[in-house]
Amino acid sequence: MSLVDDIFASIPAPLIDQFGIDATYIKASQNQTYNPETGTVSGYSVEIAVRIVISSLKPREVQGDIQHTDVRILIAASSLSGYYPQITDSIRYTQNGVQRTARIIAFPNIDYGTVSYRGDNAIMHSVVARLS
């Protein structure tokens, strides 16, 4: 862990807890299978209760195209216990009394890698998600 990580590691979780909203992080099973005859996907998902901060995106913040339903979601890394968000995962939350599900589609400011962190240990994850 770098000195920057040591200094700032304790900041994201309390801020997201204070200013964020309740949500459910849905880790998709890595062993899902699709049955083309029935149109169903089998496998299981793991749901984790988290707090998140949602914000809008500006086109210059992401590579590629964004839609008006795309949002940036911040999650304290400690909420996911060492798990790093994947493109196959999604996040469910309630907004204005309506339950919404946002599928992770990208990691902003990362060259389309699979993780979104600075240093050896993540302190916060920033993902771009698309509302379905």
Spatial neighbors of 38 by CB under 8 A, at least 6 apart, are none
The per-residue b/e assignment along 79-101, b for 16 or more CB within 10 angstroms, e otherwise, is: bbeeeebeeebbbebeeeeeebe
Rounded Cα distance, 76 and 84, in Å: 11
Instruction: Please give the model's pTM, rounded to 2 decimal places.
Output: 0.79
**What are the pLDDT digits (tens) for 79-120?**
998 888 998 899 999 999 999 999 999 876 554 444 444 556
The per-residue b/e assignment along 49-70, b for 16 or more CB within 10 angstroms, e otherwise, is: ebbbbbeebeeeebeeebeeeb
**What are the pLDDT digits (tens) for 17-38?**
999 999 999 998 777 788 889 8
pLDDT at 50: 96
pLDDT at 120: 61
Domains of the chain, earliest start first: 3-131 (2.40.10.270)
**What are the pLDDT digits (tens) for 57-79?**
876 666 667 788 899 999 998 89
